[in-house]
Structure 1
Amino acid sequence: MKTDSYSALAPAKVNLFLHVGPVQANGRHKLDSLVMFAGEEAADRLDVMISDDLSMTITGPGMTNPDYIGPIHDNLVLRAARALQAETGTTKGAAFTLDKHLPIAAGIGGGSADAAAALRLLTDLWGTDPAAARKVAPELGGDVPVALQGHAALMQGEGERVRRAPGLPRVPALLVNPNLACPTGPIFRAYDEAGGGAAFREFGAVPPFERVWDLVHWLREQRNDLQAPAIAAVPEIAGVLDTLQALPDAQLTRMSGSGATCFALFETGDAARRAEAQLSAARPDWWIRATMLGDAV
């Protein structure tokens, strides 16, 4: 039944590995990354209702540094709405409320998740063709197409090619950010200046794995190419990774995206939750969430 208001979660995106090609003539990079999404424990929430124009209110603990979020008119949610208006020719408006919980500039695609949620919600609210949302997603950022699809997937090309990765288990994980921003642009520039990407190759597919342990064993052979330049820019990331590696039962630790969020993978949800309790007591100043990675909820 069609209504005049909708709501959706915008979950964190986690790059289980991230291989980055050399910089191209357009200044962007080819990527190859296995992406999974967190559960509701690590997600923003976006509400929208019909309106005569476009507007947005931002609430939540993620607004502790509103200056860093930047001007609301330039937020990816409103940029997504304007792009969908232009593509479809609709004159309808929307009033958004973004309840922000994900840290900013954190390598987990919070802004992209918000934009993807906006495209999904507006498709329902305005009654537009879902193909229009898929068409405008790549111009909004490399993480938006995979967030719009919402499935565990290989993200390739400049992010516009999304290849679903079926046959994977849901993975217990602990996500940790030291509440330090790590903006994407400078990390990619440092990667380029170091001559990164020369050995870049794309995977044809991700093998199916029944058990978490088998997937983790395979992931150990992969890497995040942006981890070293991110640590050089924000040395605290190395300390986060060391802390995660020392947790009982942690099977794999790595940085997500361009940082500074890092993750540890576990075989069971109970192990991840115990690690969350232990680390939250030791580091109350960090953003820490135990969750299950897989398809978006």
Structure 2
Amino acid sequence: MPALIEEGRAKVNLTLKVVGRRVDGFHDLESVVAFADCADRLTLEPGSALSLAMSGPLADACGDTSDNLVLKAARLLGEQVVDLKVGHFTLEKVLPVAAGIGGGSADAAAALRLLARLNELSLDDSRIMAVALQTGADVPVCVASRACDMTGVGEGLLPLDLPKMPCVLVNPRVPVATKNVFKALGLRHGELLIGATDVMMQAPSWPEGHAVDDWIAALKRGTNDLEAPAARIEPVISEVLSALRAAKAVRLARMSGSGATCFAIFETDADAEAAGEKLRADHPRWWMHAGTLS
């Protein structure tokens, strides 16, 4: 059987509200999630044994392959599906690690899609989504790899009609551990940031249709509650945001996830390309991608 290929697209949190911290220690979130047109590439060659090899410009940043989420997801699925067909994965890594854009989660989701194809499983199979959530909070939204309003600890997914928007993604090549950012946020177990009535009664409302102006206006009313604590841990995040906000024709700039990757949305593709070129010239050590979000 020929090799199977999937892409793990970068996940971008356009908004991220921390609702509170559960008594079990996990944080409830509400986030508008989009996906960029930059991605890792995962190949599966069917075989009798499960294995993983790394390639690509950022492969060395991934650490020990035995800890990779690709293998974790595959092993967990093997516990759910009798006689699961597996094989040799090759991951071409181009997205930065510990960067707030779900690179590892997108890779794990790509692995689940590949294994679903190999084993003739539907992506709606309850075992696929259960394993996705068990692998990591961002993995379920990455399985479908489409814009969603994500709630809870990643299990609530409401598809959104998000238009394509020109963007620039910037990572200063500084890894940020998510657990450290939540620790800096400082919520106690069982503490809510908004009232219980708000949690139950105020469901998020987002524009219907593809009017970019409506979406930009709605997104500007949101925030990323992790931006301030992440910037306290890594002040370079503030430098990245300042550089993006100073770019010509920028409409919105914000940090994604727990950082340190930040994004900016622009008027046109040409504006995004021009901003990307200037940022590359001014900050040659930063990782950067100019493209689209959708």
Q: Is the TM value for this pair above 0.5?
A: yes
Pick from 49, 56, 63 the counterpart of residue 52 of structure 2. 56
Structure 1 equivalent of residue 41 of structure 2: 45
Structure 1 equivalent of residue 165 of structure 2: 171
> Contact between 2:12 and 2:257, CA under 8 Å: does it hold in 1?
yes
Unmatched runs of 5 consecutive residues or more in structure 1: none
> Contact between 1:18 and 1:223, CA under 8 Å: does it hold in 2?
yes
Structure 2 equivalent of residue 88 of structure 1: 81
- C-alpha RMSD of the superposition: 1.7
Q: C-alpha distance in 2, partners of 1:232/1:184?
A: 13
Q: C-alpha distance in 1, partners of 2:188/2:165?
A: 33
Structure 1 equivalent of residue 97 of structure 2: 104
Structure 1 equivalent of residue 23 of structure 2: 25
> Contact between 2:245 and 2:264, CA under 8 Å: does it hold in 1?
yes
Q: C-alpha distance in 2, partners of 1:245/1:228?
A: 16
Pick from 178, 185, 193 the counterpart of residue 184 of structure 1. 178
Instruction: Write out aligned runs for 1:137-176 (5 A).
Output: 137-166=132-161, 168-176=162-170
Q: C-alpha distance in 2, partners of 1:204/1:50?
A: 43
In structure 2, the CA distance between the partners of 1:262 and 1:197, relative to structure 1 (3 Å rule), is farther
Percentage of pairs with the same residue = 42
What is the CA distance between 1:197 and its match in structure 2?
4.7
Unmatched runs of 5 consecutive residues or more in structure 2: none
2:243 is aligned with 1:243? yes
Q: C-alpha distance in 1, partners of 2:84/2:176?
A: 37
Equivalent AA in structure 1 for residue 77 of structure 2? L
Q: C-alpha distance in 1, partners of 2:165/2:9?
A: 15
> Contact between 1:174 and 1:275, CA under 8 Å: does it hold in 2?
yes
2:120 is aligned with 1:124? no
Structure 1 equivalent of residue 67 of structure 2: 74
> Contact between 1:5 and 1:125, CA under 8 Å: does it hold in 2?
no
Q: C-alpha distance in 2, partners of 1:5/1:70?
A: 25
Count residues in correspondence: 286
Equivalent AA in structure 2 for residue 100 of structure 1? K
Equivalent AA in structure 2 for residue 252 of structure 1? L
What is the CA distance between 1:194 and its match in structure 2?
8.6
> Contact between 1:224 and 1:254, CA under 8 Å: does it hold in 2?
yes
> Contact between 2:207 and 2:218, CA under 8 Å: does it hold in 1?
no
2:208 is aligned with 1:215? no
What is the CA distance between 1:254 and its match in structure 2?
0.2
1:231 aligns to what SS in structure 2?
helix
What is the CA distance between 1:278 and its match in structure 2?
1.1
In structure 2, the CA distance between the partners of 1:61 and 1:203, relative to structure 1 (3 Å rule), is farther
1:32 aligns to what SS in structure 2?
strand
